[in-house]
Structure 1
Amino acid sequence: MGSFSIWHWLIVLGIVVLVFGTRKLRDAGGDLGSAVKNFKQAMKDGEAEGEKKASDALSQDKTPKA
């Protein structure tokens, strides 16, 4: 009684498709995919920016002070 079988999930999926329709589900899936893609790109940009700041800080520390 605590776990769901594959048949339970298929029935739930069928009801969701009937309620929302395939077009709305496809649009929601596309929106979710683009959100994940944008998030990953932002994470890469943030890491690259952090590495650049770190290398700039190291290069400034190595310059001789007069």
Structure 2
Amino acid sequence: MDIRDIFAINLKKFRRAAGLSQEELAHRADIDRTYVSLLERRNYSATIDVVAKLAEALGIEPDLLLKLPPKGSK
């Protein structure tokens, strides 16, 4: 599993746990909704600035988006 996979899994997990749609998360992070979708589908890699914006919008520390999830998580 590469870092893009890890980020995508964690982003989707934390977004859903917060009860946010991709659109609402994008609005809170001041990025485009389609970009959130592309990140979750592993089509794009996020810059460190985008990781920070998304973490802030989710109310979590940025490192949580980059940590290897437990086996079996998706």
TM-score relative to the length of structure 2? 0.24
Higher relative contact order (CA 8 A, sep 6+): 2
Greater share of helix? 1
Give 1 or 2 for the bigger CA radius of gyration.
1
